[in-house]
A = this chain, B = another copy of it.
């Protein structure tokens, strides 16, 4: 590796706050050396962002830095894990110092918020591709998995759905929104907020949990498959933002809520006897349906009539 890479890691990525006591050796040797506390399992997730695929060209380097870490933290949130460390693999076409400065500041602002230490990395010359692995702790046998949903459980989501997907369409010029709404939607696309505190709160409450990176239908589908169950959703209950409602039709808002990715909210299931505990969550959640023994996903409208998925052209997700 060229000397430039070494300097670059030193300048933008090594020796940043926070410094954690459980890091024996961070950036600067062949490996990082880390201590997992006794009685905890290590939760890890690796995610990759590619320009033009996971963020539109022209996205600010601060947003890319933020998002690179946020998507992993969202996975930790979905497991009910406490964040601890991250590693970064950065492939960049050229050494662009303002870009690196922006990327680094977006990344470390979020890292500081959740006390995540960057403990290792690799920087190479190549097309812009960013891989980040996050590491967190969860008490033994207490992780929130996808496989625990049971018939009768309520299905909940945090926050609002479809904002990031609509934000992307606005950026691409495929939808138009007023300036305030466009700004809000763009912020939801560029700066997703990992639901760490909510994930921790749900450890005692939820029977299954996932983060919504690929759209509600796809991600809830992973819970249904892993749990061997089905579900009915009430489309009129989908939580959508004012900005989304201002910008698209009702049918389109339902389609976005069901199929648009990148919101990084949590979708989780809760047994009826534990639903009261949801009042103590740090953010409000919305009940959007219930788990059933019958497989597959069904949609009902406000009149409890089947909602015709074909109308929005997304029948193909049901397979």
Contacts and interface: CB of A to CB of B under 8 A. Distances in A.
Main secondary structure of the interface of A (DSSP, over half): strand
Interface residues of A, number: 63
B50 A31 contact: no
Given A3-B319, A129-B91, A120 B45 contact: yes
Contacts of A143: 24-25, 31, 33
A25 B89 contact: no
Nearest to A1: B214
A307 to B, nearest CB: 22
A41 B46 contact: no
Given A46-B131, A53-B126, A120-B44, A146 B87 contact: no
Contacts of A57: none
Given A36-B36, A126-B129, A143-B33, A48 B120 contact: no
The oligomer's copy count stands at 2
A133 B46 contact: yes
Contacts of A81: 31
A79 interface: yes
A124 B54 contact: yes
A38 interface: yes
Contacts of A41: 24, 33-35
B43 A32 contact: yes
A89 B47 contact: yes
Contacts of A3: 218, 319
A146 B30 CA distance: 8
A131 B38 CA distance: 29
A31 B79 contact: yes
Given A48-B91, A129-B127, A133-B133, A29 B122 contact: no
Counting from the closest, the 3 A-B pairs by CB-CB distance are A50-B126, A127-B127, A31-B43
